[in-house]
Amino acid sequence: MVHLLGSEHVAMRQGAPLSSHLYRDVGVVLRTYKLGEADRIIVLLTAENGKVRAVAKGVRKTTSKFGARLEPLSHVRLLLYRGRELDIVSQAESVEPMAPLLATLDRASQGMAVLEAADQLGLEREPNPQLYRMLVGALRTIADRPAPLVVPAFYWKLLAAEGLRPELDACVRCGGTEPDVALVAFDLGEGGVLCRACRSGTAITPGALLLLRDILDGRLNEALATAESPVTHEVGVLATRALEHHIERRLRAVAMFERH
C-alpha cells in the first residue's frame, strides 16, 4: 500500500533532510472538494500543522497513486509541499484502516459528526495536537465500540479543551450545591447548572447531570457504557446546542473584530 517514488523515497525516511518546502505530518481527512478535471482539494486536521488545505493532483483518476486513501475519515501519513495558499500532497500512506467506520450508516454518520466538529474548531496552520489526538481517539472508539455517547462526549471534551468546561456542581448564580439545593437547569450563556430558584435556560434531569459529570470528571468509560435512553439523548441534544452556541459566539466575535 506504500507508494514511494524515486527521490521521494529518500525524503520520506525518518531523519532524511527535506527541502525547505517539504514537510511530513500525519492527519485525518475532514472533507474534500473537486478542483478542475482530475484534482481534489483535501482538508486535513494534522498533528503538527493544524488544519491544512492541500491539492491532491490526479486523485480522481482511476490510476491515481493515492487510491482511496484521501477520502473523509482516512487517517494518513503525508509528505506535503508547502504552497502559499494551498499545499500539495506529494505522498499519502494509510496509518490505519478506518473502513469499519463505514460498515454501518450509524457509524459513518457519527464519524462525520466528529469530523465536522473538528473542522469547526481547527484553525488553519495553527497547531493543535490535542484536537488531533481527541479526533483520532473518537474515530477509533466509533470504529471499535460505538456507543450513544461517543459523539456527545467528544463535543463536551472539545468545549472543555477550549476552556469552556461547564460548571456542574454548583448553581452558577447563587453558588448553591447539592443537597442544599436541587440543580435543575442548564444555561449555555451562563456556562453551567442552576438551582430551582435561579433557573434559566433549559431543564436538565438528574440522570443527564450525572452523565455529564461522568464525561467531564474522568469517568468517560462509564459514560460510554451507558445504553441508549432518553437521558443519553438529552445529553446529546445539550452537547450539540453547546457546541453550536460556542461556534456562533466565536463567529460573532470575528464579525465584531472586523467592524472595528
Positions in the binding site for Zn ion (CB under 5 A): 171, 173-174, 176, 195, 198
Closer residue to Zn ion, CB minimum distance, 171 or 204: 171
Closer residue to Zn ion, CB minimum distance, 131 or 198: 198
Closer residue to Zn ion, CB minimum distance, 173 or 245: 173
Tell whether omega for the bond before 166 is within 30 degrees of 0, i.e. cis.
no
C-alpha dist (Å) from residue 21 to 42, 79, 82, 197, 238 = 18, 10, 5, 60, 44
15 vs 11: CA distance, rounded Å: 8
For the chain, what percentages of helix, strand and coil (3-state, to nearest 5) are there? 40, 25, 40
Closer residue to Zn ion, CB minimum distance, 45 or 198: 198
- Please, are residues 215 and 242 in contact by the beta-carbon 8 Å criterion? no
Closer residue to Zn ion, CB minimum distance, 130 or 177: 177
Place of cell 472595528: 260
Place of cell 492541500: 54
Give the shortest CB-196-to-Zn ion separation in angstroms: 8
Give the shortest CB-193-to-Zn ion separation in angstroms: 9
Give the shortest CB-179-to-Zn ion separation in angstroms: 14
Give the shortest CB-172-to-Zn ion separation in angstroms: 8
Closer residue to Zn ion, CB minimum distance, 127 or 201: 201
12 vs 153: CA distance, rounded Å: 36
* Residue 36: strand pairing partners: none
For the purposes of burial, counting CB atoms within 10 Å of the CB of 84, is it exposed (0-12), middle (13-18) or buried (19 or more)?
Answer: exposed
Give the shortest CB-112-to-Zn ion separation in angstroms: 39
- Sorted by sequence, the CB contacts under 8 Å of residue 174 that are 6+ apart come out as 181, 195, 197, 198
Give the shortest CB-239-to-Zn ion separation in angstroms: 23
